[in-house]
Amino acid sequence: MRMNKMLASLVTGATVVMAMSSAMAANVTGAGASFPYPVYAKWAENYKAATQNSVNYQSVGSSAGIKQIKAKTVDFGASDMPLSAADLDAAGLFQFPAIMGGVVTIVNLPGIAPGAIKLTGPVVADIYLGKITKWNAPQIAALNPGVKLPDDDITVVYRADGSGTSFLFTDYLSKTSPSFKSAIGAGATVKWATGVGGKGNDGVAANVQRIKGSIGYVEWAYAKKNRIAHTQLKNKDGVFLQPDDEAFKAAAASAEWTKTPGFGIVLTDQAGKNSWPITGVSYVLMHKTQADAAKGKEALKFFDWAFKNGDAAAVELDYVPLPDSVVKLVNESWKANMKDASGKAAW
């Protein structure tokens, strides 16, 4: 009888410990850019399996992510458009790079193989300006001798929400087309000349899949996942390229992180014969002063874990992990920037 009571006591004690352990498992929330969503989702899945801690990331667009972190409704925000040092200081935020990848143009042209069509920045710009309206227009035909281009109208698809992917795309078009720069310009939200809007990378991908003759722009992982035909693009050195992680790495190779305040680098239209022309960095935004230091620290633990254990998952999804030298700089920025409510270092 006494032994049974002891066993019951031990079992009850174990149950309490397990319940406490479960209660201690932290839940971190983040929101923002859809560009890194596939890799953040995979990292979160693997992180929970390894630590029992949950990271809930909502793909709502860079502009909404910036708004939510400023309002302190999430533990971290994410944006593919870096904030300036002045904007960061005004909001009491710091930012750091988390992952790199590429934006691609996608099309719905039945009968034409993925990657078969060649486009240039100026031609894509004129399509989005409404100046080129047919797929067999002379400007497109000249780039694609031997390809039977359809006499279909072109339907432009763009991001309807405030988007870092739109920033990267419009920044590239502004760098390669003076007329696009003056008429529309670069930004997370712009006034498009023509077309149909879609929310998020997934919304743009869905519209392109639905509309014959359409063209859109998404992060490369969305094009691959949804098996949507992409195009080649001509880079700054005049080379037509297919998108892949090696081309994204080549564009990122020239990044001068140490010379850029707040890591605010834009990798569009980089020199180099192997550089993909619309390569981007996705940034994480956090408050310098943490009201709940434990929660802030847990958010950084997630990214620390991802930098150490998430490269294989990132590469599988065709993202480019940060170089070790940049990860070291990021860690140093955490120590320098994140404080608890009393002003004491929180990392």
Per-residue pLDDT of the chain (347 residues; tens, 9 = 90+): 444 444 444 444 433 333 333 334 569 999 999 999 999 999 999 999 999 999 999 999 999 999 999 999 999 999 999 999 999 999 999 999 999 999 999 999 999 999 999 999 999 999 999 999 999 999 999 999 999 999 999 999 999 999 999 999 999 999 999 999 999 999 999 999 999 999 999 999 999 999 999 999 999 988 988 899 999 999 999 999 999 999 999 999 988 888 888 899 999 999 999 999 999 999 999 999 998 999 999 999 999 999 999 999 999 999 999 999 999 999 999 999 999 999 999 99
Sheet with 118-119: list strands edge to edge: 118-119, 232-234, 240-241
Q: How many CB atoms lie within 10 A of CB 10?
A: 10
Question: Taking the domains of the chain in order of start, what are their residue ranges?
Answer: 103-253
pLDDT at 25: 54
Residues with Cβ within 8 Å of residue 129, at least 6 apart in sequence:
179, 180, 183, 184, 193, 194
Cβ proximity of 306 and 294 under 8 Å = no
Cβ proximity of 83 and 110 under 8 Å = no
pLDDT at 2: 44
pLDDT at 256: 87
pLDDT at 22: 38
| Cα 84 to Cα 19, 91, 113, 265, 285, distances in angstroms | 44, 11, 41, 10, 12
Rounded Cα distance, 33 and 189, in Å? 13
238: left (phi over 0), alpha (psi -120 to 50) or beta: left
Q: Whose CA is closest to 157, among 189, 194, 119, 117?
A: 194
> Which tokens in the block code for residue 70?
């400023």
Rounded Cα distance, 29 and 17, in Å? 26
Rounded Cα distance, 59 and 73, in Å? 15
Instruction: Tell whether pTM > 0.85.
Output: yes
Handedness of CA 182, 186, 190, 192 (dihedral sign): positive
Cβ proximity of 211 and 196 under 8 Å = yes
> Which tokens in the block code for residue 328?
């070291």
CATH 3.40.190.10 at 103-253, yes or no? yes
| Cα 334 to Cα 49, 76, 91, 256, 301, distances in angstroms | 25, 13, 17, 19, 11
pLDDT at 306: 98
